Structure 1
Amino acid sequence: MLSKVREDKVLKANDVLVNSTGQGTLGRVARWIDNERSTVDSHITIVRFNAVKVHPVTAGIGLLSLQETITEMGEGSTGQTELSRVELGKLKVRLPKLDQQLELGRHFDGLAKMEQTHLAENRTLAATRDALLPQLMSGKLRVKDAEAIVSAAV
């Protein structure tokens, strides 16, 4: 299905996604940090920074900090509120000088990678808990045996 999507609509790492419609959800902002080939529907605006002019990670974090301002930019009546892409494009993101952006970007990138590592570890731990807990509670598995299983897996 993604083969039918225009290339500029395919998400790239460090894109910023802005919810452009909907009461209560308009203006929500998120950074896309994955390399998985994905796209979004027409209710999401993709903001892609020019890496020659700004560091995309630092600029993305800067845009995240403007979520409240973006939410207030919605136009239209209740239930039909939309965010103008033109107005979003006019939004100014305050950033430090490029050399400082690069340094901040490296730090932000490191934090994002650490977050992804911790999330993956949490998923593994939760799956292990979900697999072992029913057996422990039922008495089919002893704690000593569960410890051995976990030690072997980790």
Structure 2
Amino acid sequence: MTDHLTLDEQICFPLYAASRAMTAVYRPKLERLGLTYPQYLVMLALWERDGRSVGEVCHALALDSGTLSPLLKRLEAAGFVRRRRSAADERRVEIQLTDRGRALRAQAAAIPAEMAAACGLSPDELTALRAMLRRLTGTLSTSSNEGE
């Protein structure tokens, strides 16, 4: 009989361990840019589409505004972004990349390929893994919302 209460039988533990290992590999690459991993995620969202609102970035990164606000303050203090209220809707705070924030994109350009190589997976395996993780996240998000 299998004991389901062992680490080897859990899906959560290998995901947790892989996430920690991935972040550890990112750390020195991002330190050279003056970013933490969560700040890098914010920058990726803004490099993808500049001028997003705080709410849009929260949605893109699956974060709440209480978590995102300190990240934005630090990115603004570093001179990478600027926050301002929308002229059309005072409740909406828009995030704009500064020239320095846009320039940082070129410095970060090699990171995805470096990380792909560090994973030791083929491009097809990485694509399949990403698809499975997105599906898992979507399923778990739906399940957690049903339990509320």
Q: TM-score, structure 1 length as denominator?
A: 0.29
Name the structure with the higher helix share.
Answer: 2
Considering only CA atoms, is the larger Rg found in Structure 1 or Structure 2?
1
Q: TM-score, structure 2 length as denominator?
A: 0.29
